[in-house]
Chains A and B, each alone.
Chain A
Amino acid sequence: MAETLLKVERLSVNYGAIKAVRSVDFHVNRGEIVTLIGANGAGKSTILRTISGLEKVVAGNISLNNLVLNHMSSERRVRSGIVQVPEGRRVFPGMTVQENLQLGAYTISRKSQNKTAYESVYEQFPILKDRRNQDAATLSGGEQQMLAIGRALMAQPKMILLDEPSMGLAPLYIQKIFDIIQKIRDTGVTVLVIEQNANQALKIADRGYVLEGGRIIATGTGDALLASNDVREAYLGG
């Protein structure tokens, strides 16, 4: 049986006065790519932000490897092996590509470990190596997304959370980013990705959950959800 890495049980979260997430249950097994899809405002981002500790859990439970995260600081969550690539990339402007990567490894204290992490990130994203002394703000959107992903991998996580990784990217890069996500999984990192580009996300995902109004309304394998008439009508443009 597959081993559960991330488990979210009856999670409720408020976003200001709005009940953004209502008693949501889902899990991600080790080595899986799981996607949460749904319209804008369905609560996808809020769930990811809560897993990273940016929003408070109102009710329910989040655990990683049976370790309860609910009241843990964001720093300890990163140290426990779960790292987020935020929506809109959020690379640090005014800092070089290399410095951005160094910041990704903030929680890693051993220099030798850092070195291996650099090598593997640079191997995966040769463009970052070419631009390592360049201000991150001067990179194109797609390159910034690679940097944001590389930066997260520097923490050597068990699992990464990707918030709308394809948003605002040129079509050429969108495909590239989805290829990268699969490669990351192949290196043993578990992936939870939320996307408005549901079609693409479901194609690479092992399983998916459909969110609406803060609730999960459907779940299944990526292929099954792609084939489902309801999901196609609502989220895949018919």
Chain B
Amino acid sequence: MIIQQLINGMILGSVYALLALGYTMVYGIIKLINFAHGDIYMLGAYFGYFFLRVLHLNFFIALIFSMAICAVLGMLIEFIAYRPLRHSPRIAVLISALGVSFLLENGMSYLFGSDKRSFPQAIKTIQYHFGSLQISNIQIIIITTAIILMILLNIIVKKTKMGRAMRAVSADEEAAILMGINVNRTISFTFAIGSALAAAGGMLIGLYYNNIDPLMGMTPGIKAFVAAVLGGIGIIPGAALGGWLIGILETMTQAVGLSNYKDAVVYAILIIILLLKPTGILGKNKREKV
């Protein structure tokens, strides 16, 4: 029973983790809480819907296309709404991010209606039973895809020139400039990667819950943000850890019969953890740079 819930929590948590990675990477590099991030996840699901329902593509091909389009959209949003405000007070960019979020939510409601749509069953569900445990092929796909994407992200960040540049700009933007690193390009790249991961999360959740709507990104967006803070904002492995933790907490709370209070419990635990360790689980107590 507990193991079953743990598995279910890991599945949901993988999606939170994919979203949380984008929050944390963007925060790490420009210290912005990108409120529009959850809406990219929604757009990812809608593009997936289009590719599956209209073009009848294979699920994984549709996933890659949707990720690619959202990567471009993420760069575009940064270029239009955040870059001109880079040197303005941080609150201005934050408001701009909120604006983008509302624009995407209401824009999609206007264009496609605010009703839920059923997400195509691109992959037939098969249930596997192991003793009393039950797991579906969809769940396996979600967790495997999420883990593969995280491994890819880790390789990009650790081993590639662009990944090193990302870490350098996060650590010390001015020193990075002095190395000849193109900061704008590096920030664009960060948005591209984060948005692609969010799009993947959106499509996976569409496949899991079978329906999507223009406001589907709000709650998971906030939870993923919480996951990023919980793990230690700006720390990439922290986001993955935080995502899984929140997913597990949420399913466990439901399992003990507190479904109606699941969010309250999750946030209460969050507050306790942050009171004990304000920098998050993997966060170090760093001095602010002068």
Asked if B165 and A106 sit within 8 Å, CB to CB, the answer is: yes
Chain A residues contacting B179 (CB-CB under 8 Å) are 78, 83, 103-104, 106-107, 151, 155
Chain A, 83-105, CB within 8 A of any chain B CB: 83-84, 86, 90-95, 99, 102-104
**What's the Cα separation between A104 and B177 when bound, in Å?**
11
**What's the Cα separation between A106 and B165 when bound, in Å?**
8
Chain A residues contacting B165 (CB-CB under 8 Å) are 103, 106
Chain B, 114-171, CB within 8 A of any chain A CB: 161, 164-165, 167-168, 171
Chain B residues contacting A104 (CB-CB under 8 Å) are 179
Chain A residues contacting B168 (CB-CB under 8 Å) are 92, 95, 103
Give the nearest-CB partner of B167 in chain A: A95
Chain A residues contacting B182 (CB-CB under 8 Å) are 73, 75
Q: How large is the interface on A (under 10, 10 to 19, 20 to 34, 35 or more residues)?
A: 20 to 34
Chain B residues contacting A77 (CB-CB under 8 Å) are 180
B interface SS class: helix
Q: Does A203 contact B (CB under 8 A)?
A: no
Chain A residues contacting B174 (CB-CB under 8 Å) are 54, 86, 90
**What's the Cα separation between A213 and B165 when bound, in Å?**
37
Residue among A52, A94, A107 making CB contact with B167, cutoff 8 Å? A94
Interface string of A124-157 (1 = CB under 8 A from B): 0000000000000000000000000001000100
Give the nearest-CB partner of B158 in chain A: A99
Give the nearest-CB partner of A107 in chain B: B180
Residue among B161, B167, B176, B178 making CB contact with A83, cutoff 8 Å? B178
Chain A residues contacting B180 (CB-CB under 8 Å) are 74-75, 77-79, 83, 106-107, 155
Chain A residues contacting B167 (CB-CB under 8 Å) are 92, 94-95, 99
Chain B residues contacting A94 (CB-CB under 8 Å) are 167, 171
Asked if B164 and A84 sit within 8 Å, CB to CB, the answer is: no
4 further contact pairs, Cβ within 8 A, besides A52-B177, A86-B174, A106-B179: A54-B177, A75-B181, A83-B180, A106-B165
Leading 4 A-B pairs by shortest Cβ distance: A78-B180, A90-B175, A107-B180, A75-B180
